Amino acid sequence: MKLYLLRHGEAYDSSSTGKDFDRELTDHGVEQVNQIKKRLENEASEAEFCVFCSSASRTKQTYEIIAPSLSISSISFLKEMYLADHTYMLNFLWNNEHQDDTVLLIGHNNGLSDLASYLLDQKIVLPTSGLLIIDFPELKNLSDIGLGTGVEVSKCFPE
């Protein structure tokens, strides 16, 4: 059972609406996400993903770029994932119906970095477009994950 954590690509500082939720990826952010797409094509071609994505513009754009390279069993865009803290995401993982699936969370900091830090029991800071793959070799269900139960498999932090 693996958990993929992906932070959205670099985004503009503001949006035309003035809302943080509506900020879109910069050209550099698109380039960053394309690097992640290539990495996923190489490292995750066999996986079938259950994807949970913040419904903010920049995370949806991130998903749209990588989606063609993935085998996806389900996708959910969730407003609750927008700026969610690690406690919310942990509870979400513990209680979702996809307990033994390969899960991809696409979201925001500080929540994603804090979740990774908790699961690996070490300080992790995901940059924009940062991808971290965590395995739980001793566990069968996401409801069993906790402090330090994860093992880092791979990471990709584009410049």
- CATH 3.40.50.1240 at 2-156, yes or no: yes
Domain ranges for the chain, please list them: 2-156
Peptide bond into 110 cis (omega under 30): yes
pLDDT digits (tens, 9 = 90+) for 84-93: 999 999 999 9
**Predicted TM-score of the model (pTM):** 0.96
* Spatial CA neighbour of 103 closest among 73, 128, 78, 126: 73
pLDDT digits (tens, 9 = 90+) for 103-155: 999 999 999 999 999 999 999 999 999 999 999 999 999 999 999 999 999 99
